[in-house]
Amino acid sequence: MTRIAILALSKWAHFSWLPRGERALTEWAQVDANADLLARYPQLTAMQTTPAMPPFAVLPRPACAKVLRVTAALAHARLLRRVISARAQRIFEIRIAPHLLHAIQRDLRGEQVDVDQNVTLNVLDRAEMTAAGLRVALRTIEDPALRVLVELRLPRAVVRGMADVGVCDMRVETARDLLDAAYALARGEAC
């Protein structure tokens, strides 16, 4: 697992979390952004050691988001078997994950009831799928500080969208299996 230095938060976090909502390009802007993030999230200062990040979180941001979307797709594999029109398939390929729809539809999870039953999900909406995948991924992380770091990695709108998706009550092992399968399917490549 990769470790993230606590004083590199301004580089790690998506710019939507930074004080001015823009990238911190100068050293002074990075110092200001780090101080702001540490003030808003005091649990980050309480960490005894530098946290070891899960493998999906240290991928480049677009690839990380793709893994999360594929995780949500696998959680709703049965629903995705109904995506049969050429137009819907093309939309899925463009917005969610290129070249993975047929692999997800062939997955054995498609023969079972969808894992995430509490949610009515628009499987063709990029932000909603990323938020649903984040919700599943956070289920696998116990450390509150590490959860905050993973949330900071993605745009603020995605984390807010996660609240609209609902509370994830699936088993941790199931969530971990979905995330591992999605990581293997996506191969860490961005869309």
Task: Tell whether 20 and 65 lie within a shared domain.
Answer: no
Q: Give this prediction's pTM.
A: 0.86
For residue 62, is pLDDT > 50?
A: yes
Please check whether residues 20 and 58 belong to one and the same domain. Answer: no
- Structural domain that includes position 179: 54-186
Question: And the tokens for 57?
Answer: 């979180």
The 10 Å CB-count burial string (b at 16+, else e) for 159-183 is bebbeebeebebeeeebbbbbebbb
Q: Count how many domains the chain has.
A: 2
The mean predicted confidence, pLDDT, of the chain is 83
What's the pLDDT score for residue 85?
80
Cβ-contact 68, 130 below 8 angstroms: yes
Q: Which pLDDT score, from 0 to 100, does residue 1 have?
A: 44
Q: What pLDDT score does 185 carry?
A: 87
* Domain boundary residue, one of 35, 53, 71: 53
Residues 154 and 107 in one domain: yes
